Amino acid sequence: MTMVVAILIAILVLGTLLYLGRGYWAWIGAVLVLIAGGHFSGASPVLTGLVLILTGSLSLIFGMHSLRRSLLTRSLMKIVRRNLPVISETEQTALDAGTVWWDAELFTGRPNWKRLSEFNVTGLTAEEQAFLDGPVEEICRKTDDWKVAQDRDLSPEIWQELKDQKFFGMIIPKEYGGLGFSAQAHSAVVLKLSSRSLPLSVIVMVPNSLGPAELLLHYGTDKQKKYYLPRLARGEEMPCFALTEPKAGSDAASIQSNGVLCKEKFEGKEVLGIRLNWRKRYITLAPVATVVGLAFQLHDPDGLLGTKKDLGITCALIPRETKGMTIGKRHDPMGVPFPNGPIEGKDVFIPLDWVIGGEKGVGQGWRMLMESLAAGRSVSLPSLSLGAAQLSTRVSGAYATVRRQFGTPIGKFEGVAERLARIGGLTYGMDAARRLTCAAVDAGERPSVLSGIAKAYLTENMRMIFLDAMDILGGAAICRGPRNLLSRAYDGIPIAITVEGANILTRSMIIFGQGSIRGHPFVPQELQSVAKNDLNAFDEAFWGHINFTASNAVRAGLDGLTGGCFIKVTGPKASRRHKQRLTRYCSAFVLLADVSMLVLGSSLKRRETLSGRLADALSWLYLATAAIKRFEDEGAQKDDQIYLDWFCAYAFQQIEQALITITHNYPVRYLGTLLRLRTFILGRTAHGPKDEQSLELSRRVMGEKGGRDRLAADLAVSKDSDEALGALEQAYAKVLEVAVLDDRIRDARKAGKLKGVPREELHEAAAKEGIITAEEFKELQAAEALADAVIEVDSFTPAAYKKLKG
């Protein structure tokens, strides 16, 4: 009996100390308890002594760092070095790009909620808000997306106004003539423009994202900045950046465009320069660009800059009129008429000072691109995606109210309500992620992993939202014409999914791969110490990692058993339970990540399905974090609780699905079973939003408690009843206004007063029976006429149909 008690006490000591992160003392304490239990149970003194000697020896080895390094760590370091994946120089540059922020907290398994609470998500300045309310609204008002589709371009007047109002210079500092806007403002502008016209938003977005202005700001010479930045800000120069080519898409580091250093005459003088040959495609704004940012491999066969022959990827700025460049042809991406096309160059000579950064910029192009992309991806496509999501929310909420079937607004049918809830819930979470990620950029971060999450998962959520909205609108969404509010944006969804890093690649190879190497508490130090052959640093990092994994294994098990309800968190009561559950999933995620890195080693790089599911878990952990942050920053209002609850329930379902699926498909089957028992011993507990939550949220999307305005607050909303959105808004407002009359008629019908009256004659019959007044009858007829008008779809004569362009 004494030994049984000792075993139980030893397990308690081991578990408690491991939970507290005291791995060294955990096993020593547990063994000492077992030795004492054996002694009092009558174990042989000789055996007890031998065990004590063994325990003392091991504690000495592990407790004395110099002894541990000599006897254990040196050999372990050799094994680790042999099993590390081979990482090329370009891969290492990509991995090192940007900064680590909240993603590092998620990799601890115990995120610091106080740190997040104290982080300030900045709003717009008065100047930025005035720009949004003034020039942005005015551009939206003047832009007719249907006309843009037919003309295949913005009007010359819109192009000129974009230049005059410095839309192309939002990220350029005021000292160079730009607007000097924050990432939040840049994002808000793209969001609003995208809700009006996809081509309009793309044309404005690209010069302010990854491109010549961004690269010049961070890496250009003073001369380059003073010349180009004011011209770019005023729209005198229209930039594009040429990276993608036929054999280098997602694998951009494999570009074959090449330049050779040489001396030639340029403008009457012999200068050191580069002879270039290239073939690029999918280059946005190329057909209208006046200056081309070009990425190419640079070679120095004659040693003009030193002994190194292959200098690496380099970026240069090339004016459109440069001899040998072919530019102007257009691609047709999904019929969306924003300028996009190929660029070719044959035997093009440029002076060396056209390289971004001059001679110091030679060979630095890949680093420039990766660091700039880390910030640019945080703003551009996430903002465009949210604009589409908010448009879907506003349109589907109104349409589900106006459109009736069987005498009832279609939004009241549970099947439609379920889709409305998903539209509204995902839109809330997407907006939260956009704000938080932009705030990180404004705070000086360049969050490469989080920007990848924002780009990939916000565009994927946009795709789901749009599909739901298209289903709700039915024929009104698929018949093209001026009245269709969704089809033209819907056509552009694959573009957002594909560009700035294809989502498949981003999910399966980048998010977790880069996150684990950059954000983990110990992996970066382990890799660096191995690379530098620093035994002391490796010893500290490796054994710290072992202690971390053991501690997290205990935490993950206990958290899984208790649902994390004993985890200490701070903040408003309304969000605390969500923080506990999210922390519980963090510990499970980190345990699976650590075991996978330990067991699979370099082969994890090739396990893209496993890496992709770990990316799913990490991404939804971040998205749920953003929703919690938004809820608390906005005062944890009671009316907002439904948005947070719905989104967290959905996110937790995605996280559980990803992690449990990993354990069911684990390469080492028995280990997958053990991991599942450790992290999800109670099985699945996250089953998504409850039906009553979805029904309540759907009512918000249809306008209850101002939900429709709340979720789609950043759109450009037309008040012109001659336009599709303006007409829908007018019909929606009128239908809500007469809803009380419809309720009165329905109640009368239930009471038997209008028994047998056909549905289409109810209003007239109610007026005759005195249930409604003659004036109220007119109001109902007016509302019905407006509703009928907005559910109509466009039709064309055969001749006009043949001329349609989108």
The secondary structure element, H or E, covering residue 14 is helix 2-19
Q: What is the chain's Cα-based Rg?
A: 31
Q: Is 474 helix (H, G, I), strand (E, B) or coil?
A: coil
* For range 316-324, the mean pLDDT: 95
Q: Is residue 697 scored above 90 in pLDDT? A: yes
Region 614-636: mean pLDDT is 97
Average pLDDT, the chain: 89
Pick from 229, 256, 228: nearest CA to 242:
256
> pLDDT (tens digit, 9 = 90+) per residue, 519-574?
888 888 888 888 888 899 988 988 888 888 888 888 999 999 999 999 999 999 99
CB 184 within 8 A of CB 439: yes
Q: Which domains does the chain have, with CATH numbers?
A: 2-63 (no CATH), 127-209 (1.10.540.10), 239-355 (2.40.110.10), 738-798 (no CATH)
Q: Tell me: pLDDT of 51 over 70.
A: no
The span from the CA of 435 to the CA of 630, in Å, is 8
* Contact status, residue 452 vs residue 487, Cβ threshold 8 Å: no
Give the integer Cα–Cα distance in Å for 703 and 691: 19
Average pLDDT over residues 738-752: 85
Would you give the distance in Å from CA 320 to the centre of its chain? Answer: 34
Q: Dump pLDDT digits (tens) for 399-447.
A: 999 999 888 899 999 999 999 999 999 999 999 999 999 999 999 888 8
List alpha helices for 712-802, DSSP H. 724-737, 739-750, 762-768, 774-791, 798-802
Distance from C-alpha of 474 to C-alpha of 733, rounded to nearest angstrom: 22
Query: By the 8 A CB rule, do 417 and 695 touch?
Result: yes
Which token pair is 132? Answer: 């949004």
DSSP 71: I
Give residue 806's pLDDT: 67
Strand 408-409 to strand 404-405: parallel, antiparallel, or no bridges (unpaired)?
antiparallel
Residue (of 59, 171, 197) closest to 491 by Cα position = 197
Q: pTM higher than 0.85, yes or no?
A: yes
Q: Show the DSSP H helices in 403-510 as ranges.
A: 414-442, 448-473, 475-478, 487-491, 493-498, 503-505
For residue 791, give the amino acid letter: I
DSSP label of 85: P
Percent of the chain with pLDDT over 90: 62
Mind listing the pLDDT tens digit for each residue in 757-777? 887 778 888 888 888 888 988
Write down the pLDDT at residue 34. 66
Lowest mean pLDDT among 211-220, 525-534, 630-639: 525-534
As a whole number of angstroms, the distance between CA 538 and CA 521 comes to 13
What does the block give as tokens for 119? 């982080």
- 768, 439 in Cβ contact below 8 A? no
774: left (phi over 0), alpha (psi -120 to 50) or beta: alpha
Residue 95 binned pLDDT confidence (cut-offs 50, 70, 90): low
Residues 6+ away with beta carbon under 8 Å from 305:
261, 311, 359, 362
- pLDDT tier, 749 (very low <50, low <70, confident <90, very high otherwise): confident
Instruction: Say yes or no to pLDDT of 173 above 90.
Output: yes
Q: Is 152 left (phi over 0), alpha (psi -120 to 50) or beta?
A: left
DSSP states of 710-732 as a string?
Answer: HHTTTS-----TTSHHHHHHHHH
Place of tokens 């035994």: 535
Q: What is the pLDDT of residues 221-246, one digit of tens each?
A: 999 999 999 999 999 999 999 988 88
**Mean pLDDT for the stretch of residues 29-54:** 69
Measured CA to CA, the distance from residue 309 to residue 73 in angstroms comes to 40
Catalytic residue chosen out of the listed positions 500, 723, 729, 784: 500
Q: Is 696 left (phi over 0), alpha (psi -120 to 50) or beta?
A: alpha
> For 45-60, what is the mean pLDDT?
70
- For residue 240, which of 306, 315, 292 has the smallest C-alpha distance? 292
Count CB neighbours of 300 within 10 A: 20
d(Cα 204, Cα 162) in Å, to the nearest integer?
A: 8
pLDDT for 603: 82
Give pLDDT tens digits for 264-303.
988 888 999 999 999 999 999 999 999 999 999 999 999 9
Tokens of 409: 């607004």
pLDDT on residue 526: 84
Amino acid at 300: D
For 127-148, the pLDDT digits (tens) are 999 999 999 999 999 999 999 9
Pairing of strands 269-284, 340-351: antiparallel
SS3 99: strand
Q: Which position has the higher pLDDT, 430 or 58? A: 430
Confidence of residue 10 (pLDDT cuts 50, 70, 90): low
**CB within 8 Å of 2: residues ≥ 6 apart:** 37, 40, 41
The answer on pLDDT for 37 being more than 90 is no
CA 219 to CA 215: how far, in whole Å? Answer: 6
Q: How far apart are CA 98 and CA 141, in angstroms?
A: 38
The H or E element spanning position 603 is: none
The angle at the Cα of 489, spanning 492 to 658, to the nearest 5 degrees, equals 65
Percentage of the residues of the chain whose pLDDT score is greater than 70 = 93
pLDDT of residue 231: 96
Provide the pLDDT for residue 345: 95
What tokens were used for 225? 């900045």
**599 — pLDDT class (breaks 50, 70, 90):** confident
**Average pLDDT of span 481-487:** 92
Kindly give the residue spans of alpha helices, DSSP state H, lying in 509-640: 511-519, 523-532, 535-562, 573-600, 608-633
Q: Please indicate whether residue 500 is annotated as part of the active site.
A: yes
Q: How far apart are CA 211 and CA 239, in angstroms?
A: 7
Length of the chain: 806
Bridge-based pairing of strands 340-351 and 325-327 is antiparallel
